Structure 1
Amino acid sequence: MQYRNDRHGEPLSLLGFGCMRFKRAAGPGAAIDYPAAERQIMRAIELGVNYFDTAYIYPGSEELLGRVLQENGVRDRVNIATKLPQYLIRSASAIDRYFDEELRRLRTDHVDYYLMHMLTDVVAWHKLEELGIRDWIARKKAAGQIRNIGFSFHGNTDMFLKVLAAYDWDFCQIQYNYMDEHAQAGREGLLAAAERRIPVIIMEPLRGGKLVDLLPQEAKSLIASEAHGWSPAELALRWLYDQPQVTCVLSGMNSVPMVEENCRVASEAGVGCLTQADQGLIARVKDIVGKSMRIGCTGCGYCMPCPKGVDIPSAFRCWNQMYTEGKSAGRKEYWQVVSLRKEPAFATQCVRCGKCEAHCPQHLPIRNALPQADRDLRPLHYRIAGVVARKFALG
């Protein structure tokens, strides 16, 4: 296993264990298969994984991780990362209530890496500040109950940069893979964090498996024809490991063979592991995936800012995702990135001023495409649910 240092010089395994996708004993809704999960966690620790990521809202995950670590006496060999469900917080006392419950679930007296979960807008952070989160963090750090503070992010690049600058973070967590290179925080966000010497934890390196199982057959055949013999998963992981700004890559592993294979890659790959030919291969794979896209938006952002606040790149990216990965995937992404933001950014706010089209390098028909994208992304039941969710989550 290879390691890269956190902000304080502590080594983190290049591969982290994402504890959201453990198999359940009898399908969805059932309890996690404890013996199987225990074998996977312990094998990962044996192979050098020392970063385990969970969250308050992952059903059964915190309890299982805490039990495995305690019963096997390995708590001091790993770093636990978990998250405050900031979208559920309505009072200062609630912060302590959720945190204390997480400590009980995890059977520990401290959290090594604690995140504000799923920030999509800097307004959500400001809301926490009004409840005294800065002082709360300072107290928890002074007491040794939190060692590093960070945030996980779903939103656009501009908003990521605002959140990044809003506090002296110890680390951050972003969705990043070769298909999302210029989406959400993107490469620009990754480099901005590195400039501030803020370690970056990567989630969704395989887009929830979509860069493996749901790749077009043409892309799978192209990857298989290469002399390396890499699988689609290894290619995607190597693309991340090749970048020095990446500190740790989370993988939602749910079998011992998967743990062993991913640990092998994390032991062999690193900065400089991809040749120019390998980068060319990835570019060809992206082109193949792009054939099924709805609109040729590259996410460059030249159309922004929209005078009326429409998040044009996110709308088109999620619209494309509906056609490359399925309707539910694109709508879920749009829900996270746009629908839950404090300031509305929907395509329906477009007044057809044309400023975006004047700056678009691809000369896309943005004004005509936005209404169709919005209809696809937000059918009536999504709109109704969105109104309710925004009132609940944003206050």
Structure 2
Amino acid sequence: MQYRTVPKNGDSLSALGFGAMRLPTKRGNIDEERASRLIRHAIDQGVNYIDTAFSYHGGESEKILGRILTNGYREKVKLATKLPPWNVQTREDMDKILSIQLKRLQTDHIDYYLLHSLNSGSWKKFQDLGVFEFLESAQQAGLIKNIGFSFHGDRKTFREIIDAYDWTFCQIQYNILDEENQAGKDGLLYAASKNIAVMVMEPLRGGMLAEKVPKEVRHIYEKSGSLRAAAAFGLSWVWNHPEVTVVLSGMNDETHLAENIATCDAATPGSLSDMDIQVIDDARDVYTKMMKVGCTGCSYCTPCPFGVNIPMCFYFYNQYHMLGDKLMTRGFYSMQLMGGMGSPGNASLCRQCGKCVSKCPQNIPIPEELKKVAKTMDGLTTKLVFMIAKRMFGSSIKNE
């Protein structure tokens, strides 16, 4: 197993982390026996970083992890979980949630504790509610060890958050398609310049870059003569960055686990050849041509006077047309842009004022494109998915 060091505390973490957001299921519930077998085998093979959240699997992920990590396995790993802004309405809620998490996970401390899925709205909400006092109080009490955040916003907000606190780590979405989206490479390098460890989520875009690969992309990989599978190309590209500390993978299949461990062993920083990188660039070009809007997520168009989160609207619109699981994309769009995680920022809020157009370096006719986004993403289907997503992610903070 390859290990990388957290700059601020010296922890040696497996470059491959186990993400517990998509555990194997059976008849709609987590298949605990299989999940236990997968996670314990991963730990036996050297994986020592496990990531979950209060809301994953409707709260069941933390509970099941607590049971899996008994019999000495808890001591072998660094455990990460998250404080969800959508469940927090008061300062007291933060303490209640952490107490529930410790009980669920059957542990007396969380090694890596994150503010979950920050964007400009949830960041402001947390600050207004006194989140730093909570974090430092919990840290002084030994309930949490390292403080960080996960992020789904624009680059400007990412830098603002990085500069606001002495974080040990952060978690960003980064893959061959998101080099310029959300925090992007700019964010990766900026965090690393501050000695902040970077954990990468969605390295394969929820499996899109490994499964249901377009035939044009498959042809590029096959023509290269490399024996790497599509997943190995995608993961190797992320690990090729020395600034990345841990890459999280939601390994719900024994074959995926074995393949990812093998890839991790070989994918050290700088291990990709110039030819490998060119192959990946060619694959990215094919994916880019499939995108509906050529938005790079630079955020020059923001803030919108009517509250539209323009870059994220385009991000999810593109993902909707490229990703196999359209319902999941609707769920994330609704939670992040229709009020599930803070103030709404969905496309239907656009009033066609046109102030954003002159600011766009890509010359995108933003109001016209937002009409298309609203027509596709803001309808009844998404609203129904939003109701389901709120039930799934809105775990109770009553004492359990």
On whether the aligned pair clears a TM of 0.5, the verdict is: yes
Contact 1:21–1:254 (8 Å) recurs in 2: yes
In structure 2, what is the Cα distance between the partners aligned to 1:362 and 1:185?
18
Residue among 130, 133, 141 paired with 2:131:
133
Q: 1:91 to 1:330 in 2, by over 3 A?
A: closer
Specify every segment of 5 or more residues in structure 1 that has no aligned partner in the other structure, as ranges: none
1:303-342 alignment, distance < 5 Å: 303-306=301-304, 308-325=306-323, 327-340=326-339, 342=342
Contact 1:199–1:246 (8 Å) recurs in 2: yes
Q: 1:104 to 1:195 in 2, by over 3 A?
A: same
Give the structure 2 partner of residue 21 of structure 1.
22
Per mean C-alpha deviation after superposition, the further-off stretch among 252-261 and 110-119 is: 252-261
* Distance apart, 1:384 and its partner CA: 8.6
In structure 1, what is the Cα distance between the partners aligned to 2:238 and 2:166?
25
Query: What secondary structure sits across from 1:247 in the alignment?
Result: strand
Contact 1:66–1:107 (8 Å) recurs in 2: yes
Q: 1:387 to 1:256 in 2, by over 3 A?
A: closer
* Distance apart, 1:65 and its partner CA: 1.7
Give the structure 2 partner of residue 274 of structure 1.
272
1:129-208 alignment, distance < 5 Å: 129-208=127-206
Root-mean-square deviation (CA, aligned residues, Å) is 2.7
In structure 2, what is the Cα distance between the partners aligned to 1:353 and 1:82?
41
% of aligned pairs identical? 42
In structure 1, what is the Cα distance between the partners aligned to 2:385 and 2:24?
29
Give the structure 2 partner of residue 10 of structure 1.
11
Q: 1:346 to 1:86 in 2, by over 3 A?
A: closer
Q: Match of 2:96, as an amino acid? A: R
* Distance apart, 1:357 and its partner CA: 3.5
Specify every segment of 5 or more residues in structure 2 that has no aligned partner in the other structure, as ranges: 395-400
Give the structure 2 partner of residue 95 of structure 1.
94
Contact 1:320–1:330 (8 Å) recurs in 2: no
Contact 2:331–2:382 (8 Å) recurs in 1: no
Give the structure 1 partner of residue 255 of structure 2.
257
After TM superposition, the runs of 4+ consecutive aligned structure 1 residues lying more than 6 A away are 384-390
In structure 2, what is the Cα distance between the partners aligned to 1:34 and 1:315?
36
In structure 1, what is the Cα distance between the partners aligned to 2:276 and 2:382?
40
Q: Deviations over 1:277-300 (max 9, x none)?
A: 222211211222233322333434
Q: Match of 1:135, as an amino acid? A: E
Give the structure 1 partner of residue 372 of structure 2.
372
Q: Deviations over 1:310-366 (max 9, x none)?
A: 433322222222221254344334334433364554444545454544344443333
Give the structure 1 partner of residue 398 of structure 2.
none
Q: Match of 1:63, as an amino acid? A: K
In structure 1, what is the Cα distance between the partners aligned to 2:323 and 2:259?
25
Residue among 265, 286, 289 paired with 2:287:
289
Per mean C-alpha deviation after superposition, the further-off stretch among 355-364 and 72-81 is: 355-364
In structure 2, what is the Cα distance between the partners aligned to 1:136 and 1:304?
31
Query: What secondary structure sits across from 1:211 in the alignment?
Result: coil
In structure 2, what is the Cα distance between the partners aligned to 1:314 and 1:93?
31
Per mean C-alpha deviation after superposition, the further-off stretch among 50-59 and 8-17 is: 50-59
1:20-169 alignment, distance < 5 Å: 20-24=21-25, 26-28=26-28, 30=29, 32-59=30-57, 60-70=60-70, 72-121=71-120, 123-169=121-167
In structure 1, what is the Cα distance between the partners aligned to 2:296 and 2:137?
44
Q: Match of 1:262, as an amino acid? A: N
* Distance apart, 1:136 and its partner CA: 2.5
Contact 2:155–2:299 (8 Å) recurs in 1: no
Q: 1:16 to 1:303 in 2, by over 3 A?
A: same
Query: What secondary structure sits across from 1:169 in the alignment?
Result: coil
Contact 2:346–2:378 (8 Å) recurs in 1: no
Query: What secondary structure sits across from 2:206 in the alignment?
Result: coil
In structure 1, what is the Cα distance between the partners aligned to 2:282 and 2:156?
28
Q: 1:306 to 1:130 in 2, by over 3 A?
A: closer
* Distance apart, 1:93 and its partner CA: 2.8
* Distance apart, 1:234 and its partner CA: 0.5
* Distance apart, 1:305 and its partner CA: 4.8
> How many equivalent residue pairs?
387
Contact 1:330–1:377 (8 Å) recurs in 2: no
Q: Deviations over 1:210-261 (max 9, x none)?
A: 1111221221222123222101100010110011111100011123332222
Q: Match of 2:68, as an amino acid? A: V
In structure 1, what is the Cα distance between the partners aligned to 2:93 and 2:310?
36
TM-score (structure 2 length as normaliser): 0.88
Contact 1:155–1:336 (8 Å) recurs in 2: no
Per mean C-alpha deviation after superposition, the further-off stretch among 343-352 and 245-254 is: 343-352
Contact 1:43–1:256 (8 Å) recurs in 2: no
Q: Deviations over 1:36-68 (max 9, x none)?
A: 222212221122110001112123221222222
Query: What secondary structure sits across from 1:284 in the alignment?
Result: helix
1:354-365 alignment, distance < 5 Å: 354-365=354-365
Q: 1:38 to 1:308 in 2, by over 3 A?
A: closer
Query: What secondary structure sits across from 1:184 in the alignment?
Result: coil
In structure 2, what is the Cα distance between the partners aligned to 1:321 and 1:112?
33
Q: 1:342 to 1:46 in 2, by over 3 A?
A: closer
